[in-house]
Amino acid sequence: MGKSTTALSAFVAALVLIPAAGWAQNDGGEQGDDGERAIEFHAVLKNLYLYRNDSDFDRSAPVYNPDGQSMGVAGTDLRSFITWHVSNKLRIHYEVEIGLNVWSRNSPDEGDPTADDIFLLKHREIYTEGTLADDLVGFKVGYQRLNDPTVLFIGHWFGAADFSLNFQKGAVHAVAGAFPDTTYEGLTAQFNNFTHDTALFALYGNASLGRHLTLNAGLFTIQDESVIGRSMTLWTPALNLTAVMNPDPVSLSLSADLAMQFGPSRGRSYDGGDQMNHGWAGQIHGALTWKRFALDANVLALSADDPYDNDGSNGAFYYSGRTRSSTLFLTEDKVHDWYDNIDERLASPRGAFYLSRAGLLLADLKLSYLVTRWFRPTLIFGTARVLESKNALGEDYVGTEADVDLQFPVDPALTFHLIGGLLAPGGAAGALVNSIDTNRAENIWTAEAAMIVEF
């Protein structure tokens, strides 16, 4: 990185770290006449800075040199959550995300709402939620974030109707929803029909199995009709078992996720026959807190397909891209999703899902120590490999990352992060991700800073 770029980066990092005034004081809410909150307001504002070195793994086009350019961005993202309590049994919820607006690109001074540099605005959730019959029946209808028990399959925002029966020790939900797609139907309502949609149906529930154990399980079904003559039915039983124990001074939680997928993709085999899906995903997560120490460990596995793409069998898993992993490169950066996560880039997008024919086995450890009330350094180590090297040009090692996250929670609502990370990619990552030269696997390092206000 040249001197001028270093100076610019330092200057921008300094700007990012200036706390914004005012937000932290808002406790979000307006009192109604009966003393209950009529409107709840929450927000998460992030000022972010990211720098990544020039590497074959970034997405910059090779305009100025063969590998591309270094990546650097400073931006602001605001996610606001508003809940209107229409009554004590009925709520309207709206989540909107403004951003990520990049300082060098999106202009607050832009008057034309159709211009390229206008602010980004995303409506995430718009739903109504409530209960009926003395809280026996619940509903949540509209655009919402829905997860399956593992979050490995469904962890998306989409339109759905969720109805539940609520019991003392748990609940059972029935869901019907639709994934948006841009194929064939177009955007005008007159062409709209159910024939070429991707529908989701689910039956899931949770139950307390004792003082320490909770079971979340469900059956999620996708009926994908978006490609004419090549529909897919995907049955996915998923379960999560979570055990939480707090033998003082230790706090321990263990969770296990397992999801399996079955069902035909019709006419998608090379010989015109059906392709049977039979993928699986598993994850084990443990979190231990002892005094000032916190340790998180996670192992994620996504099944692989055989070396024959589009034959009668698909063993790969339709994956949401969401995990409990703490890694920043290998999976979604929990500070902010930069949409260049290696687990997603190893895979092929399939509508709302990622299909990694090479499979994935990822293990990571996160260790943090609360030095003072306002300083918690964290170390993250993660390593990954594929499960079928033949689907990664004969390579099996994806890479190893090591990160340092210096967190400064100076206020209950305000936290600063200073992060440095390094990914040493392996041959499998080169084969699957590097679209310039599959033989090259150069290290990526990153510097990230974030100022997060959350209330």
Least distance from other proteins to the Cβ atom of residue 439, Å: 8
Least distance from other proteins to the Cβ atom of residue 72, Å: 19
* C-beta of 108 vs 307, nearer to other proteins: 307
* C-beta of 217 vs 452, nearer to other proteins: 217
* C-beta of 138 vs 279, nearer to other proteins: 279
Cβ contact 386:346 at 8 Å? yes
* C-beta of 106 vs 314, nearer to other proteins: 314
State both tokens at 394: 């004969």
Q: Report d(CA 178, CA 41) in Å as an integer.
A: 28
Least distance from other proteins to the Cβ atom of residue 120, Å: 21
Tell me 20's DSSP state: P
* C-beta of 79 vs 390, nearer to other proteins: 390
Least distance from other proteins to the Cβ atom of residue 79, Å: 29
Instruction: Name the CA dihedral angle for 106, 107, 112, 113, rounded to a multiple of 10 degrees.
Output: 40
* C-beta of 67 vs 448, nearer to other proteins: 67
* C-beta of 139 vs 262, nearer to other proteins: 262
State both tokens at 137: 């029946």
Least distance from other proteins to the Cβ atom of residue 390, Å: 6
Least distance from other proteins to the Cβ atom of residue 325, Å: 23
Least distance from other proteins to the Cβ atom of residue 181, Å: 13
Q: Reduce the DSSP state of residue 13 to 3 states and report it.
A: helix
84 CB neighbour count, 10 Å cutoff: 15
Cβ contact 383:421 at 8 Å? no
300 CB neighbour count, 10 Å cutoff: 26
Cβ contact 350:318 at 8 Å? yes
* C-beta of 208 vs 443, nearer to other proteins: 208
Q: Report d(CA 144, CA 139) in Å as an integer.
A: 12
Element (H, E) at 275: strand 275-277
State both tokens at 183: 């194929």
Bridge partners (DSSP) of residue 444 are 423
> Would you tell me which residues interact with other proteins (CB under 8 A)?
59, 61-63, 66, 68, 184, 209-210, 213, 215, 217, 227-230, 237, 239, 241, 258, 260, 262, 268-276, 278, 306-315, 348-349, 355, 357-358, 390-394, 431-432, 435-439
Least distance from other proteins to the Cβ atom of residue 343, Å: 15
Cβ contact 149:239 at 8 Å? yes
Least distance from other proteins to the Cβ atom of residue 357, Å: 6
Element (H, E) at 344: helix 342-345
Residue the block writes with tokens 């999801």: 259
Cβ contact 329:341 at 8 Å? yes
* C-beta of 269 vs 331, nearer to other proteins: 269
Least distance from other proteins to the Cβ atom of residue 367, Å: 31
Query: Could you tell me which of 382, 378, 350, 397 has the C-alpha nearest to residue 448?
Result: 378
Query: Could you tell me which of 132, 79, 156, 74 has the C-alpha nearest to residue 338?
Result: 74
Handedness of CA 81, 164, 225, 432 (dihedral sign): positive
* C-beta of 53 vs 314, nearer to other proteins: 314
91 CB neighbour count, 10 Å cutoff: 17
* C-beta of 131 vs 348, nearer to other proteins: 348
What single string gives the DSSP state of each residue in 65-121? STT---EEEEEEEEEEEEEEEEETTEEEEEEEEEEEEETTT--TT---TTSTTSPPE
Least distance from other proteins to the Cβ atom of residue 398, Å: 13
